[in-house]
């Protein structure tokens, strides 16, 4: 390894407390020195401004085990083609990262520290740009897709059918990132809610998050005939091919979409394994898509589905309690493949419970858990200052 990770970690400890301010400085530096790059980023940066910066610092700090990161960085580099990130932008981003660190480190910044950070950033940038350059010729940076169907499935949930203009490769269990011209440059991940279809159409289930930029547009405004952009399929919460083990899938809310894709794949391949699905919703009204559940039950002999929706008024906590009871009632989950999908806090909480109930960590799969979820947007600069926040960076399961 060309750089010393201990030097990097020690230097970051000095500035970590001011990560928010560093992120602001980083973007100000990037955009003032490279005004053309501003156009690639969303207009509204209050919530997202720390995505790239947080990722950068988080990745550098984790570079001690680069072999764990190679697959993730490769996917990130290929995915960055949709942001129109070109190789010549990478040195600019690196320079702004170093400038931000140097500014906030004051006298503790030394040539040795600068060398270590520069070398670490160079390793990351090389893997990302190398992977982007190796994308097979003809692979688009993003896929245009027409909204060809729209169904209000629950009060705050729409099921959108998307028809990509060209074949869109994916595996059931993966997610795509989506962007609408109604909210330019804002990309968000959504699970693909179907196995591959003969007409290549895709389904996504979107819940409106209060104050959410893209989910509000998708649930309230986006209509059939509109075009959306899709980034390449991501995620590794796919079925373990040929596994002889029984499968438990626990889905909360729109997490049902991901589970549905897995079940459709099992049905299409006539996979003989036993499958138990626990399907949780906040209320009966939110327990949407039961017709699709019925269709899958008719196709799969060895599928059992438990629905958990609490009494009116019990809300999410009531749903969580029902799921916990259902899982604990079964007793022992050792030897099961387990898939968890749903709101960001579902997977970590249920994984802990399932470990206690015998589940094996290596057999549990779920999507990355974003660390920035559920943070109130600070209203004033003093809120930003007083509100201690973790160094946020994308927490993908690929990172181990």
Ligand X SMILES: Cc1cc2nc3c(=O)[nH]c(=O)nc-3n(C[C@H](O)[C@H](O)[C@H](O)COP(=O)(O)OP(=O)(O)OC[C@H]3O[C@@H](n4cnc5c(N)ncnc54)[C@H](O)[C@@H]3O)c2cc1C
Interface residues with ligand HEM (CB under 6 A) are 37, 40-42, 48, 51-52, 55-56, 59, 76, 80, 83, 85, 89-90, 93, 124-125, 128, 177, 187, 394
We find the least distance from the C-beta atom of residue 169 to ligand X, in angstroms, to be: 18
| Tokens read off for 332 | 């022992």
Indicate which of ligand X, ligand HEM, none lies near residue 211 (CB less than 5 to 8 Å, by partner kind). Answer: ligand X
Q: Which of residues 48 and 118 has its CB atom nearest to ligand HEM in the complex?
A: 48
Strand ordering across the sheet containing 175-179? 188-191, 175-179, 227-230, 143-154, 157-164, 202-207
User: Look-up: residue for tokens 């990355």?
Assistant: 368
Q: Which of residues 71 and 344 has its CB atom nearest to ligand X in the complex?
A: 344
> Using the 8-state DSSP alphabet, how is residue 136 labeled?
P
- The residues pairing with 151 across neighbouring beta strands, listed in sequence order, are 159
User: Look-up: residue for tokens 């998708």?
Assistant: 218
Q: Which of residues 83 and 288 has its CB atom nearest to ligand HEM in the complex?
A: 83
Long-range contacts of 67-71 (CB under 8 A, 24+ apart): 68/399, 68/400, 69/124, 69/127, 69/399, 70/127, 71/398
Q: Which helix (H) or strand (E) holds 266?
A: helix 256-268
Pick from 158, 228, 152: nearest CA to 193? 158
Q: Which of residues 4 and 345 has its CB atom nearest to ligand X in the complex?
A: 345
* 3-class state of residue 246 by DSSP: coil
We find the least distance from the C-beta atom of residue 253 to ligand HEM, in angstroms, to be: 21
Indicate which of ligand X, ligand HEM, none lies near residue 214 (CB less than 5 to 8 Å, by partner kind). Answer: ligand X
Pick from 135, 8, 164, 121: nearest CA to 75? 135
Contact 23, 57 (CB under 8 A): no
Q: Which of residues 94 and 252 has its CB atom nearest to ligand X in the complex?
A: 252
Indicate which of ligand X, ligand HEM, none lies near residue 215 (CB less than 5 to 8 Å, by partner kind). Answer: ligand X
Q: Which of residues 4 and 47 has its CB atom nearest to ligand X in the complex?
A: 47
Q: Which residues bind ligand X (CB under 6 A)?
A: 47, 175, 188-191, 205-207, 209, 211-216, 254, 257, 343-344, 367-368, 370, 372-375, 377
Indicate which of ligand X, ligand HEM, none lies near residue 128 (CB less than 5 to 8 Å, by partner kind). Answer: ligand HEM
We find the least distance from the C-beta atom of residue 44 to ligand X, in angstroms, to be: 8
We find the least distance from the C-beta atom of residue 83 to ligand HEM, in angstroms, to be: 4
Q: Which of residues 213 and 363 has its CB atom nearest to ligand X in the complex?
A: 213
Contact 233, 174 (CB under 8 A): yes
Q: Measure the CA–CA gap between 161 and 145, rounded to whole angstroms.
A: 9
We find the least distance from the C-beta atom of residue 38 to ligand HEM, in angstroms, to be: 9
We find the least distance from the C-beta atom of residue 289 to ligand X, in angstroms, to be: 12
Indicate which of ligand HEM, ligand X, none lies near residue 344 (CB less than 5 to 8 Å, by partner kind). Answer: ligand X
Q: Measure the CA–CA gap between 214 and 152, rounded to whole angstroms.
A: 16
Indicate which of ligand X, ligand HEM, none lies near residue 375 (CB less than 5 to 8 Å, by partner kind). Answer: ligand X
Q: Which of residues 90 and 256 has its CB atom nearest to ligand HEM in the complex?
A: 90
Q: Which of residues 96 and 215 has its CB atom nearest to ligand X in the complex?
A: 215
Contact 302, 274 (CB under 8 A): yes
We find the least distance from the C-beta atom of residue 147 to ligand HEM, in angstroms, to be: 21
Counting DSSP H helices and E strands in the chain, the numbers are 12, 11
Indicate which of ligand HEM, ligand X, none lies near residue 143 (CB less than 5 to 8 Å, by partner kind). Answer: none
We find the least distance from the C-beta atom of residue 183 to ligand X, in angstroms, to be: 7
Q: Measure the CA–CA gap between 365 and 369, rounded to whole angstroms.
A: 12
φ/ψ (deg, to 5) at 311: -60, 155
């Amino acid at each position: 390894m060309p750089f010393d990770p201990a030097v990097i970690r020690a230097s970051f400890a000095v500035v970590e407390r001011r990560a928010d301010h560093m992120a602001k400085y980083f973007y100000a530096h990037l955009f003032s020195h490279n005004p053309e790059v501003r156009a690639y980023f969303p207009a509204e940066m209050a919530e997202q401004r720390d995505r790239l910066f947080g990722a950068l610092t988080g990745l550098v700090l984790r570079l001690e085990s680069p072999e764990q990161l190679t697959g993730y960085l490769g996917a990130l580099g290929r995915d960055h083609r949709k942001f129109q990130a070109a190789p010549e932008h990478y040195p600019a981003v690196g320079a702004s990262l170093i400038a931000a660190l140097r500014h906030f480190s004051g006298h503790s910044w030394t040539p040795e520290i600068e060398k270590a950070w520069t070398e670490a950033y160079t390793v990351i940038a090389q893997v990302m740009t190398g992977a982007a350059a190796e994308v097979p010729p003809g692979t688009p940076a993003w896929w245009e897709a027409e909204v060809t169907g729209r169904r209000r499935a629950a009060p705050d949930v729409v099921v959108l059918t998307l028809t990509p203009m060209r074949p869109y490769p994916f595996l059931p269990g993966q997610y795509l990132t989506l962007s609408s011209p109604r909210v330019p440059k804002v990309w968000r991940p959504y699970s693909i809610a179907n196995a591959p279809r003969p007409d290549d159409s895709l389904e996504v289930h979107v819940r409106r998050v209060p104050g959410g930029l893209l989910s509000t547009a998708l649930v309230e405004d986006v209509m059939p005939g509109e075009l959306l952009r899709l980034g390449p399929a991501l995620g590794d919460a796919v079925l373990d091919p040929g596994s002889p083990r029984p499968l438990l899938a626990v889905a909360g809310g729109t997490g049902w979409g991901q589970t549905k894709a897995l079940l459709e794949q099992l049905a299409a391949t006539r996979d003989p394994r036993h499958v138990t699905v626990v399907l949780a919703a906040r209320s009966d009204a939110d327990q949407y898509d039961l017709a699709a559940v019925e269709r899958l039950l008719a196709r799969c002999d060895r599928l059992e589905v438990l629905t958990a929706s609490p009494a009116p008024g019990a809300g999410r906590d009531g749903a969580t309690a029902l799921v916990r009871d259902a899982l604990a009632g079964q007793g022992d989950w050792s030897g099961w493949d387990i898939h968890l999908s749903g709101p960001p806090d579902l997977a970590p909480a249920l994984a802990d419970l399932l470990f206690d109930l015998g589940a094996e960590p290596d057999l549990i799969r779920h999507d990355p858990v974003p660390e920035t979820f559920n943070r109130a947007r600070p209203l004033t600069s003093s809120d930003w200052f007083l509100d201690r926040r973790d160094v946020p960076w994308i927490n993908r399961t690929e990172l181990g």
